[in-house]
Amino acid sequence: MPKILMSTTPWFSLARSFAQLARNAEKSQSSVSVVKEPLENPPMEIHTLGEKVLRQSARRITKVDETIRDLARDMLRSMYSAKGIGLAAPQVGVHKQLLVIDLDIETPTTPPIVLINPEIIGTSAGLETYEEGCLSIPGVYLNVIRPSGVKVSFRDEMGRPKKMNVDGLLARCIQHEMDHLKGVLFVDRVTDHENLVKELKDHGFNTKDVRSFE
């Protein structure tokens, strides 16, 4: 008769281990994650340059609940459908301080970042020039100068307070999306006006809708 090997680890210790593994797995996934595939009919319309809705300031979110998480999910679905990496609530006509960001839209398991009531509480001394685009100004890509790194405080999709230091593309994306919360678009920050005029004209936009020309 074959021997039956008995574990020397108490069952309750195993249960705790499995429970911890489950908690860790849960933490690795955002509670607002959605399928990263374009939808034929995205849930929200992304407004474009020239629409007044993009020039209004967003209000702070006082309560983070399932309504806010549903909004974040719909924003993500609309963002993925437009093949973007960042979206602010004012871009879909909702004037709340909410951003969704995903720099890895090709990897289904990478969770998005949700920033509620974000505030930049520190910036790097160094500046970088990098080409930016925007789902609200499709087809237009121009260089913008921004701090290369920022420290940002915010609440996540569960309402938990967070702080993080970021640099590179994520820092730029956060700064770009946070501008939307103040009614600012990246074209307002472009210093090469000659190239800006050309790009806007080539893609059917009007310079009168850019603040630097007001």
> From the CA atom positions of the chain, what is the Rg in Å?
21
Name the DSSP class of 125: S
The span from the CA of 201 to the CA of 205, in Å, is: 6
How far apart CA 74 and CA 70 sit, in angstroms, is 6
State the catalytic residue, choosing from 40, 177, 194, 199: 177
- Which residue, chain included where needed, has tokens 């574990």? 7
Backbone phi and psi for residue 128, each to the nearest 5 degrees, phi listed first: -135, 145
177 in active site:
yes
Residue written as token pair 């595939």:
37
Q: What angle do CA 36, 87, 148 make, to 5 degrees?
A: 110
Q: What is the 3-state secondary structure (H, E, C) of 191-204?
A: CCHHHHHHHHHHCC
CA distances from 54 to 17, 33, 72 (A): 49, 26, 18
Active site residues: 177
